[in-house]
Amino acid sequence: ICVAMPALLLWQANIIWRFGDRKLGASLSIIVLVALSAVMLLRAYTAVTSPLPIGLYANSPMQTVYLGSLNFGLLLSAIGAILMASERLHFELGQLASKDSLTNAYTRRALFELGENEMARCKRHGTALAALMLDLDHFKRINDKHGHQVGDQVLIDFVQRVQAVLRRPAILGRYGGEEFLVLLPETGRDDALAAAERIRQNTTRQTGLPVCTVSVGLACLGKPQTDTLSALIGRADAGLYRAKEMGRNRVEEASP
């Protein structure tokens, strides 16, 4: 047992190390499992080199260390498991709050939180920031003709296509319905136009789903010290309406 159990405990520690999130619960569990393995191996070694007196509770320093560490280790292992479960639940709740359940894009609330962080960084370092407002053209017709399940698949497919052409640290979120917002940190006007055009062209590929084009409104950050996230998004939204007025399936900036 003192040889087989350490192997099992170290195997469990390896699994937590490989797949755990390295937070307090996982770290505590790994330390406890490794420590218990060491104590068991030490007990096996002393049992061979200097056999212990007969009896499970025989009076021996090694026996005392073994039994004490085993009881204390079981308690700490339970605490570690509870902490890992709690941390996992906290992570999943955070994901539910920040990610759209259908498309896995950021929610509108998370978009504004991340956007405000980017605005603060722009004010500190004077970096560029661009926003793209995306709207699927005539999406209501898809829902009416093919049903909402097909419409949901179109939204999921669209988000996957957009994510495939965006580069980090771009932020994609669902602004509402079939509207999506992309924030492009450290991106000037020319690069933002190129990204918008890649998005527009990428949505026209055949996927077995109804073909749905996209209209894009573009806006770039003005003076970081005076411009606001709401104003930036408002200009991107105005560019989107301009794209719709000019025939859809195009990229437009708001009129000055």
The DSSP bridge partners found for residue 99 are 106
Cα(88)–Cα(25) distance, integer angstroms:
10
Token pair for 53: 């007196």
Do 83 and 25 meet the contact criterion of CB atoms below 8 Å apart?
Answer: yes
Backbone dihedral region for residue 221 (phi beyond 0: left; psi -120 to 50: alpha; all else: beta): beta
Residues sharing a CB contact under 8 Å with residue 137, sequence separation 6 or more, in sequence order: 212, 213, 214, 215, 244, 248, 249
87 noted as active-site residue: no
Identified catalytic residue from 92, 116, 118, 178? 178
Cα(171)–Cα(111) distance, integer angstroms:
8
- Map tokens 């560029």 to a residue: 128
Residues recognised as catalytic:
178
